[in-house]
Structure 1
Amino acid sequence: MEKTISLYLISFLLVFPVFNFHTEAQQKPRTIVTTDGEVDDMDSFIRFLLYTNELDVEGLVYSSSMWHYKGDGKGTLFTSEMDMTKRMYGAKTDLRWCGTTWMQEMIDKYASVYPSLVKHDPNYPTPEYLKSIIRVGNIDFEGEMEKITEGSEFIKNSLLDDDDQPVYVQIWGGTNTLARALKSIEEEYKGKLGWEDVYKKVSAKTFIYTILDQDATYRKYIAPNWPEVRVVYNASQFWCFAYAWPRVEPENLRKYLRGAWFSENIKFGHGPLMDNYFLWGDGQKIEGDTEHTHGNLEEAKKNGRDQYDFISEGDSPSYLYLLNFGLQKFDDPTYGGLGGRFKQSAENPLRWEDGMDVTDFNPATNKQDPMYSQTRWFKVLQNDFATRADWCVQNYENANHPPLVEVDKNEISASAGDTVKLTSSASDPDEDELNYKWWNYKEAGTYPVEVTVSSPTSKATEFTVPDDAITGQTIHLILEVEDTGEPVLNRFQRIVIEIK
């Protein structure tokens, strides 16, 4: 089944050309989403659908977690392995299960805005394709990985196929369905001729981005048996996108999460998909989840929220990491980008983590901030989200589109004392005026002092490598280009200077 436009649209697009954001040289990251179906998963999924044109989406898999499981239908009592949910819930036969149809229902709403979306980018996958890649994984209980499921087999087959490109597995709940897929590979090949090659291939292809540990299967099975699988572990930075945002989001950015902003830019007047986006006090209720009370306006007021305030998209950083805005080097999470910045684990060099010692300088507070690696991009992300909500209902000429930005080189070698000249070019599909800004992402590099450039708002600039720079250190310079459309949109290029 075709991933992108169906045949009936081809003639339409020939008559009404659109701007194509992708070139043949660009490789979209392959990705599989696993989700336990909480309200913040559903909101993350709505935003995710608006970015499926940027990704090679291979699978959408229902899974379970410490917060959500279906039960086995036999009345079996289950007690969580995780301390928090063990204390909270005790023994349960099922827990807050939202079913295995909600993704299909969201895609039906996506289908209603799909004809508008492809006017802005023909790379949006068809609703039929997205439905065809939905599978049900291991959902009976938290951490259940004994059963071979259609979801685990789907992941297994992707990891074993002949395409050597990495498969980025997004973990929005527990890792159990992925663990079952890896266990099935181990059971099929271990101890047989060729196992070592299979092990190396699967380890090299599998790249996990997980939000917390929401069951024990990574710790108990994946880490000890597949130590060469790469993993980004986001345990703190995601909170600025999650339920705790009023406590951790910088005050100057909170307006992008308030009801006034969401009412105007997302919730209303943007078609059926955005109508379904969950917000505080919006009157919506998820069947099966007794703890989804956010739609009740009195509950919102009791929690200090205004009507239509943001609830949570705690899982969105896992795919924001994969978006090509010109920032991210996908195989090096230390670079930092839309999905946060991470450091290499001391125990496992193939695991990257955040935490209180992974900080960026927050100019609003003049302090090092463990959330700012994520929140520094928040205005950019929200404006881009609002623009894509516009794409759901607006013709091409009535909506904004991001600029295209290029630099001569993304990697440069230079010695201490050298003058490095940097040139760029940019264009805007809407012919908007463009503004340029060069800045040093100090925390992403290893040279520890702020570096300045001579002409920070010009297309071309230069800087002198400091005399005290040491061989092997790196300096990260970011070119940020912003258009003057509505909402304003930003794209970037990163130049890494290695000291020789």
Structure 2
Amino acid sequence: MVGMLSAPAVMATASGPKARLVVLTDIENEPDDAQSLVRLLLYANELDIEALVATTSTHMRNEVHPDSLRRIIAAYGQVQPNLLLHAPGYPSAESLLALVHAGQPAYGMAATGPGKDSEGVLRIIAALDRADPRPLWVSVWGGANTLAQALMTLKATRSPAELSRLLTKMRVYAISDQDDAGAWIRRTFPDLFYIVSPGGYGAATWGGMFVAVDGLDNSTISTKWIAHNIQQGRGPLGAEYPDVAYGMEGDTPAFLGLIPTGLSDPDRPDWGGWGGRYELYVPALEAMDPKGFNGNVPVEAETRPIWTNAVDTVTPYTDSPHGRAITPGPRSYSHFQATIWRWRDAFQNDFAARIAWTTQPPEKANHPPVAGLDHADRLTVTAGTLFQLSAKGSSDPDGDSLSYHWFHYPEVGSWKQPIPAKGAENIDRVTFRAPMVTKSETAHFIAAVTDKGTPSLTRYRRVIVTIEPKR
């Protein structure tokens, strides 16, 4: 018997307000910041970008380059009219240029203190002061001293209650600690929401953007793929995407999870998504690769819980030439970087499709499907019973055929043992059996809905199932 207890079976859709975003970037330190900016601008219709601040870092200690931000935005301005043919909401280049500012012009905490508020500092404070109930995400691609100065100024000029209210609005996602300001911020403001992989870069989740994984097809991060799909013959914005020097787009995870795909909830880093998965705890110093390369930034023991590395165990699926369209591959992987690379083909294809939007008319480009459910996204079932999950409410704006993949995400939710599908997992409606439990448990299930356009694009729905023990 298939059964479930839930809200009325109405079509559930993934929607919500745009995320507010401030970017701090040490652009021109090396090419990856420019790469990340090109990608970010292609999703400028999905996010409310409120500041783009050029900063220093341990890798570029005495320069800031707002001019490079302006150059890439100018290229975006050439293609913005064509982007609007594909989706509404792309801001003008002029409005984005007004958001470009310089941060602290020197390295680390030595560049902070009374009277050292830069344009970038003032922009962060103004964004926090804005009467907007949405969280303010600060995406730190380089050093964090501009953010540190903003917090220092707020602490000196606001009441404790007002400071606490403003800090509650802020979310920080830093790509490691690229100066000594990040550790200072976390020590000084212990309640601040902070995502980071501190320490050596070998212990960084963001490496999942570009690491070549043994045994997998890594073609979507290859130089050949990048040249063909992003750089060459892809218009003026694609031409601004530089070759990889050290690692492809190491900064991109700091905003990737804010893109509304139906997979992630930005306020729940432990739920996972394109930007990785993180758990809230105090990491051990030895787990941070403290002697590994990080540009000589001191590595300190953390003094409070932070959102940091979490491990996913992933068995990648492969396409089958005959029979069931997808089957589990021969190998499983357990790693913190897998929380990013497990989604990599999907977000790389999405990037390639968006670059095509800059030059192609809508009828010659692909657009993402709309993943839908024909039931609620929160269900309650009884232990031992069968229940169905259905993505039959999905559609595609281009009329493309759709493929489906339902799976349990065992690292998320209280029930950690895998719950396999009863039969094929690659159809729109899939049956699972609730495990036997002795107390109320939760399990997260993901529907990945992929079109058959070129490149194929994926959107998701998450269903959280509460499993109650038998009475």
| TM-score tier after normalising by the smaller chain length | 0.7 to 0.9
Give 1:340 shift: 0.4
CA distance in 1, matches of 2:216, 2:187: 43
Contact 2:64 2:102 in 1 (8 A): no
Secondary structure of the corresponding residue to residue 435 of structure 1 = strand
Report the counterpart of residue 402 of structure 1 in structure 2. 368
User: Are the counterparts in 1 of residues 190 and 304 from structure 2 also a CA contact under 8 Å?
Assistant: no
Q: 1:251 to 1:262 in 2, by over 3 A?
A: farther
Contact kept, 8 Å, 1:35 with 1:172, in 2: the verdict is yes
Kept after mapping to 2: 8 A contact 1:168/1:208: yes
SS in structure 2 opposite 1:56?
Answer: strand
Separation in 2, partners of 1:171, 1:325:
22
**CA RMSD in angstroms, aligned pairs only:** 2.1
Q: CA deviation at 1:348?
A: 7.5
- Cα deviation, 1:16-36, whole Å, max 9, x if unaligned, reads xxxxxxx99630011100001
Classify 1:252/1:448 alpha carbon distance in 2 versus 1 (closer, same or farther; 3 Å): same
What is the match of residue 144 of structure 2?
Answer: 175
Contact 2:207 2:250 in 1 (8 A): yes
In structure 2, distance between residues paired with 1:335 and 1:122? 29
Preserved CA contact (<8 Å) 2:26 2:55 = yes
Equivalent residue in structure 1 for 2:404, among 431, 436, 460: 436
Q: Is the 8 A contact 2:314 2:342 kept in 1?
A: no
Matches within 5 A, 1:421-432: 421-424=388-391, 425-432=393-400
Q: CA deviation at 1:60?
A: 0.6
The CA distance in 2 between the partners of 1:313 and 1:431, in whole Å, is: 32
Work out which of the residue numbers 274, 290, 308 in structure 2 matches 1:353. Answer: 308
1:349 deviates by 7.5
1:26 to 16, 22, 44: 16
Whole-Å separation in 1 of the counterparts to 2:382 and 2:105: 55
**Deviation digits for residues 216-256 of structure 1, max 9, x if unmatched?**
11222x223321110111351211325xx34xx34423211
Deviation at 1:161, TM superposition (A): 2.1
CA distance in 2, matches of 1:420, 1:139: 58
1:481 equivalent in structure 2: 449
Pairs within 5 Å for 1:7-26: 26=16
2:250 to 314, 322, 325: 314
For the residue of structure 1 that corresponds to 2:307, the secondary structure is strand
1:59-70 correspondence to structure 2 within 5 Å: 59-70=51-62
Paired letter, 1:316 = T
Task: Please name the residue that 1:278 is paired with.
Answer: 242
In structure 2, the CA distance between the partners of 1:329 and 1:447, relative to structure 1 (3 Å rule), is same
What SS class does the counterpart of residue 442 from structure 1 fall into?
Answer: coil
Matches within 5 A, 1:225-264: 225-235=188-198, 236-242=204-210, 245-246=211-212, 249-264=213-228
User: Once the 2 structures are TM-superposed, how far is the Cα of residue 361 of structure 1 from its aligned partner?
Assistant: 2.7
Correspondence for 1:340: 276
How far the C-alpha of 1:107 sits from its partner, in A, is 0.4
CA contact (8 A) 2:257 2:264 kept: yes
Return the offset for 1:53: 1.2
Which of residues 458, 472, 477 is equivalent to 2:427? 458
> For residues 382-397 of structure 1, what are the structure 2 equivalents within 5 Å?
382-397=348-363
Other-structure match for 2:296:
none
Match for 2:376: what amino acid? K
| Distance apart, 1:367 and its partner CA | 3.3
Partner residue, 1:379: 345
In the TM superposition, residue 414 of structure 1 has moved relative to its aligned partner by 2.8
2:37 to 45, 56, 79: 45
Q: Distance in 1 between matches of 2:438 and 2:70?
A: 54
Q: Which position in structure 1 is the counterpart of 2:294?
A: none
Residues 315 and 333 of structure 2 are in contact (CA less than 8 Å); yes or no, is this contact kept in structure 1? Answer: yes
Offset at residue 350 of structure 1 (A):
6.0
Count of equivalent residues: 411
How far off is 1:98 after superposition? Answer: 5.9
Separation in 1, partners of 2:405, 2:312: 22
Q: Which has the higher contact order (CA 8 A, sep 6+)?
A: 2
Counterpart selection for 2:95 from 126, 129, 132? 129
Could you tell me the TM-score, scaled by structure 1's length? Answer: 0.78
User: Cα distance 1:385–1:214, how it changes in 2: closer, same or farther (>3 A)?
Assistant: same
C-alpha deviation, 1:329, in angstroms: 1.2
Moved more, 364-373 or 321-330: 364-373
Distance 1:157 1:374 in 2: 32
Q: What secondary structure, in the 3-state scheme, does the structure 2 residue paired with 1:444 have?
A: coil
> 1:498, 1:58 → 2: CA distance?
38
Any conservation in 1 of the 2:234–2:359 contact (CA below 8 Å)?
Answer: yes
1:165 alignment counterpart: 134
Residues 36 and 64, structure 1, Cα contact 8 Å, conserved in 2? yes
Deviation readout 1:61-120 (Å, 9 max, x if unpaired):
1111111122xxxxxxxxxxxxxxxxxxxxxxxxxx462200000001111111111111
- Residue among 267, 285, 295 paired with 1:331: 267
For 1:380, give the aligned amino acid: A
Give the CA deviation at 1:265: 0.8
CA gap of 1:199–1:98, structure 2 versus 1, over 3 A, is: closer
State the 1:405 CA deviation.
Answer: 1.1
Partners in 1 of 2:442 and 2:14 — Cα distance?
30
Q: Does 1:471 align with 2:463?
A: no
Q: CA, structure 1 residues 206+472, in 2 after alignment: closer, same or farther (shift >3 Å)?
A: farther
Instruction: Work out the CA distance in 2 between the residues paired with 1:494 and 1:36.
Output: 35
Secondary structure of the residue that 1:68 maps to in structure 2? coil
**Residue 126 of structure 1: how far off its partner (Å):** 1.0
